[in-house]
Chain A
């Protein structure tokens, strides 16, 4: 089983591996990290068997290392991600993501009458009661399960 997985998603020499992505969240992660703009090798495994998640996805990015801030943004869409930093084929660091206290330019406000949906500007959200976000501008509260990301092309 392990062997088969390794064939599907090849090991990388140096870079970052994001594992345990719920498959329905994969493309949100791809967008959030702007993987479409990367020039180094990216391997994406989609709908892999997982005992914990049923279907999981995995992303391996060669020669790419993110800042803590970039990675912590991911907690908005998948709070239980595992990240591995790879150097010379070895995992040198394993970490989880933690939700930052504020999120700028990542989450779209659910209120159509919010100024952020009507002006060319960045959204800003603060963490509210651990499992929700509050819009800095219109005070709308969004449950983390219902978060929509901005379309930041």
Chain B
């Protein structure tokens, strides 16, 4: 079995992304198995993230693995000055795989270079969050029936939002058309627009956010406009409500359009939309379980074939 770390979705080809989606589908049919029985999964959260940690731990538990780890970095030796390397080497002695979230950028890449066991990046600062991207792609695939030739509208903080950057990188295999909807202060950075041009990806920029602008969307991907990103708080007050999705803005939406949001939501989507058939963000989070089951198995060298022929399903 070939073990391999997952640091960034940018390492994955189109074929690999489709392969992982197929694997996630298998897990969605039968999430409870004993496929990882006898394995120990370590979840090292050097930065708290309840949502991601619970999702990974549920994925491991439903596959029969045991889970060790910490959710609060204050309890680790990192506070005593231990290096990341020492922590990773120590935990590698105990666990078969390490899922880690770290506040420093590049921490997962470094850990994957030194650890004898596979590392799954559960977010490294503002850098990468590949399991979020994988569940986003799985959600897009599930709701649209394909990943190719879609109109994807990204809304909110496109400057700092790592989920939208990873989405852009991963979707470049699938001939998308992007629409970037953001205030000027939080517009898509030039390097990502350059990436689009270099890969022949069409994109349109908007600062307005209304029914007309979003009428052509297959996917409406909402992100949070965060107060702390603004140097001028007057400017924040001016723009914050401009990117609130209201129920009446869905009047011209395509029937297949789905609204995604990486959550937590604060003030981006009116609560009245939750019951609307276009809303998909809670199902999206649920899909994270199956996507993470696939990522854990893939990192441990378990193939799609193994999953299809699995005799350990618990019904």
Contacts and interface: CB of A to CB of B under 8 A. Distances in A.
Contacts of B126: 113
A135 B127 CA distance: 12
A123 to B, nearest CB: 10
B85 A115 contact: no
A131 interface: no
A120 B81 CA distance: 12
A139 B127 contact: yes
Contact of A119 (B84, B127, B191): B84
Given A115-B110, A119-B83, A119-B85, 5 more contacts: A113-B103, A115-B102, A121-B85, A136-B109, A139-B105
B69 interface: no
Contacts of B109: 115, 136-137
Interface of A: 111, 113-116, 118-121, 135-141
Contacts of A120: 83, 85
B100 to A, nearest CB: 12
B104 A113 contact: yes
B168 interface: no
Contacts of A116: 106, 110
Select the residue from B102, B104, B107 with max chain A CB neighbours within 10 A.
B104
The main secondary structure of chain B at its interface with chain A is mixed
A47 B153 CA distance: 57
**Which 7 A-B residue pairs are closest in the complex by CB-CB distance?**
A137-B106, A138-B105, A138-B106, A115-B106, A115-B104, A115-B107, A115-B110
23 contacts: A113-B103, A113-B104, A113-B105, A113-B126, A114-B104, A115-B84, A115-B104, A115-B105, A115-B110, A115-B124, A119-B83, A120-B85, A121-B85, A136-B106, A136-B109, A137-B105, A137-B107, A137-B110, A138-B105, A138-B106, A138-B127, A139-B105, A139-B127
A113, A115, A119, A121: most-surrounded residue (chain B CB, <10 A): A115
B191 A138 contact: no
Contacts of A119: 83-85, 110
B64 interface: no
B269 to A, nearest CB: 30
A113 to B, nearest CB: 5
A114 B109 CA distance: 11
A121 B191 contact: no
A114 B106 contact: yes
B138 to A, nearest CB: 24
A115 B106 CA distance: 5
B242 to A, nearest CB: 30
Contacts of A138: 105-106, 124-125, 127
A139 B110 CA distance: 13
Nearest to A128: B191
B191 A135 contact: no
Contacts of B125: 113, 138
